[in-house]
Structure 1
Amino acid sequence: MNFTVMEGMRTIERQKKLLAKGASKTMRSRHITGHAIDLGAYVDRRVDWSWPLYHQIAAAMKGAAKELEIPIPWGGNWRKFPDGPHFQLQWKHYPE
């Protein structure tokens, strides 16, 4: 599965815009501190947002994280606001 980084660190201004349009649910985003990335599945020379692709990316990311012994939560596992492209470093290991 090919993928690309869509977004990493965000400014507070960008986060406010995403919150206002419903693309985020918090101002405590790990993107603001540089501890999160959003990945995009790259299929046929374009980004594809189909959920099954993000399960494949998550498996690859979790495999790499396990090998490096760096736990990473995947936004696709969130119950209230599933976010398939989102991966972040844990708060307890990487505080603000």
Structure 2
Amino acid sequence: MTYALGQRSLARLEGVHPVLVAVVKRAIEITTQDFGVYEGVRTMERQRKLVASGASKTLNSMHIPAVDRLGHTTERLGHAVDLVPWIDGEFRWEWGPCYAIAFAVRSAAAQLEVADKMNWGGVWDRWMHDLPGTEAGMKLAVKQYAARHPGPDFLDGPHFQIGRKG
């Protein structure tokens, strides 16, 4: 089945780095799991609230517009998106479907030759091109990451960013 981003998701990509937008648009075309863009650009005020609530661990979020980390433009851009599974007409925060989305994003990034510049919130310490090329492999990579980083690490399955690891 082929999916497409809705108007709300497309609007949430405004201000996001165009390379990351291209990856998201390609990923929705090839994914086996429908998803929506839950969040793109954030304000510092929103980021502070997310940190205070425990939904984020840093004020140095890649969602907050910053100078282009890839050096393509002088614009201030968001360098992260949250792609949440869309199931039965609603966003669902479940890990299982996130692996299919992560695999689609990895595949799209590889096709667009930027997998060496992107990483995923399921495996913060690896570039996407270093991750396995299957859904099962993505799941295993998260398990291996958790073993390398025991303790209160923040696994964020819907989060994808470009320009910085971790």
Offset at residue 90 of structure 1 (A):
2.1
Which structure: larger Rg?
2
Partner residue of 2:90?
A: 46
Q: Which of structures 1 and 2 has the larger relative contact order (alpha carbons within 8 angstroms, sep 6+)?
A: 1
Percent identity of paired positions between Structure 1 and Structure 2 = 51
Equivalent residue for 1:23, pick from 52, 55, 77: 55
Count of aligned pairs: 92
Offset at residue 59 of structure 1 (A):
0.1
Task: Provide TM-score, normalisation by structure 1.
Answer: 0.90
Mean CA deviation greater in 47-56 or 76-85: 76-85
Q: Which amino acid aligns with 1:77?
A: V
Cα distance in 2 for residues equivalent to 1:52 and 1:43: 12
> Could you say what the CA RMSD is over the residues aligned between the two structures, in angstroms?
1.3
How big is each residue's C-alpha offset from its partner over 1:27-85, in whole Å with a ceiling of 9 and x where there is no partner?
Answer: 11000020000011011111111101001100000000000011220001134210001
Task: Provide TM-score, normalisation by structure 2.
Answer: 0.53
- Alignment of 1:32 onto 2:64: yes
Equivalent residue for 1:59, pick from 96, 100, 103: 103
- Alignment of 1:74 onto 2:120: yes
Whose strand fraction is larger, Structure 1's or Structure 2's?
1
Unaligned runs of 5+ in 1: none
Whose helix fraction is larger, Structure 1's or Structure 2's?
2
